[in-house]
């Protein structure tokens, strides 16, 4: 934790004399390194719409409120490739009217946006979604204070799940007595003697809408690479063995199914317990399942049948290990 000393002077009056007393105060760096973003993903098979519901947790150990956060939903351009067109339908996407500004000039993916009470959303010129506190002029903003959990930051889209970056920004005291008093937002530039404000931003990997041609995928290997290995692929994780911090309780597994799978043949287990019914399985579809993890090794096994290039039926079986340590 970084602290900067400052001096404050106050005046007391006793027996008609004025006494000036120096007081040492400290500016505390706005550390929100333990803040986190979690997401619940639901899929409506009838409409083809995914709903992404984000929750921001700012733990009591943080030294500043979270003032805003954004998700890098911006697509690579063009976003109108032939394969993308089924996902660019914006009909039926829920929205609550909290979108205040859209600077994207049509370059963002179609999104329905909802915000919790006290917040509004905007879309940046490259298509990123930003949530900010909203309050009438002259009234205090409803920040996410240490010890507070806020949910209801929602995106709705036909664009399927991939892995994106979420950024959390703390409220930084730049007032009198802070190291920013003289330099403000220029801190970190031209060798100014105060920290760059961007160093206090926190980035998190989250599941969110990502056009299929932009997703990085892996398969579990072990079967024929040209067809069978494509029955099951993964957008999260991107390796078959994953080491996780000791406080990890959940992991968002993102499974991408091949076009020629046999959905009713799908099976999945976590530590030998059946979790098949947690997955929505469809040819060419994407399923997101929040896996509950235990300390130590956690083994996920998935298998599904599908049609090979030659018309024969084969089975793709993959295993992913999560080590919480």
> CATH 2.60.40.10 in the chain, residues?
216-324
Task: Please give the residue that has the higher pLDDT: either 295 or 78.
Answer: 295
Distance CA 194, CA 212 (A): 42
Compute the mean pLDDT over every residue in the chain, rounded to the nearest whole number.
87
At 193 the pLDDT is: 67
Reply yes or no on whether the pLDDT at 21 is more than 50: no
Note the pLDDT tens digit of each residue in 258-287. 999 999 999 999 999 999 999 999 999 999
At residue 301's C-alpha, the angle toward residues 222 and 250, to 5°, is 125
Note the pLDDT tens digit of each residue in 146-205. 999 999 999 999 999 999 999 999 998 888 878 777 766 667 666 566 778 888 999 999
Q: What CATH architecture does domain 36-211 belong to?
A: Sandwich (2.60)
CA-based nearest residue to 296, from 243, 255, 240: 243
CA-based nearest residue to 72, from 204, 241, 268: 204
Distance CA 108, CA 127 (A): 4
As a whole number of angstroms, the longest Cα–Cα distance in the chain is 101
pTM of the model: 0.86
Q: Are 109 and 158 in contact (CB under 8 A)?
A: no
Report residue 159 as tokens: 């664009």
Q: Report strand pairing: 129-133 vs 119-123.
A: antiparallel
Q: Report strand pairing: 119-123 vs 99-102.
A: parallel
Q: Tell me which CATH code domain 216-324 carries.
A: 2.60.40.10
Task: Please give the residue that has the higher pLDDT: either 1 or 269.
Answer: 269
3-class DSSP assignment, residue 157: strand
Which of 14-23, 72-81, 136-145 bottoms out in mean pLDDT, i.e. has the lowest?
Answer: 14-23
Average pLDDT over residues 224-236: 92
> pLDDT category, 314, cuts 50, 70, 90?
very high
């Amino acid at each position: 934790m970084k602290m900067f000393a400052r001096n404050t002077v106050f005046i007391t009056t006793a027996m008609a004399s004025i006494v000036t007393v120096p007081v040492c105060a400290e500016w505390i760096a706005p550390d929100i390194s333990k803040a986190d973003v979690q997401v619940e993903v639901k899929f409506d098979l009838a409409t083809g719409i995914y709903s992404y519901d984000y929750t921001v947790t700012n733990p009591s150990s943080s030294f500043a409120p979270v003032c805003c956060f954004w998700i890098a939903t911006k697509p690579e351009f063009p976003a109108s490739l032939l394969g993308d067109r089924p996902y660019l339908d914006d009909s039926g996407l829920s929205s609550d009217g909290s979108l205040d500004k859209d600077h994207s000039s049509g370059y963002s993916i179609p999104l329905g946006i909802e915000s919790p009470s006290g917040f509004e959303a905007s879309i940046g010129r490259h298509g990123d979604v930003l949530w900010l506190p909203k309050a009438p002029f002259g009234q205090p903003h409803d920040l996410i204070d240490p010890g507070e959990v806020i949910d209801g930051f929602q995106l709705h889209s036909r664009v399927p799940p991939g892995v994106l970056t979420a950024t959390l920004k703390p409220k930084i005291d730049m007032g009198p007595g802070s190291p920013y008093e003289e330099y403000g937002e220029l801190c970190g530039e031209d060798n100014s003697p105060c920290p760059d404000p961007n160093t206090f931003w926190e980035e998190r990997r989250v599941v969110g809408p990502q056009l299929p041609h932009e997703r990085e995928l892996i398969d579990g290997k072990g079967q024929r690479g040209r067809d069978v290995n494509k029955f099951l692929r993964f957008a999260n994780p991107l390796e078959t063995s994953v080491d996780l911090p000791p406080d990890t309780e959940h992991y968002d597994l993102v499974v991408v199914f091949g076009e020629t799978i046999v959905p009713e043949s799908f099976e999945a287990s976590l530590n030998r317990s059946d979790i098949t019914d947690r997955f929505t399985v469809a040819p060419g579809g994407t399923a997101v399942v929040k896996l509950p993890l235990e300390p130590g090794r956690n083994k996920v096994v998935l298998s599904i049948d599908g049609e090979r290039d030659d018309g024969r039926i084969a089975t793709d079986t993959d295993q992913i290990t999560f080590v919480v340590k």
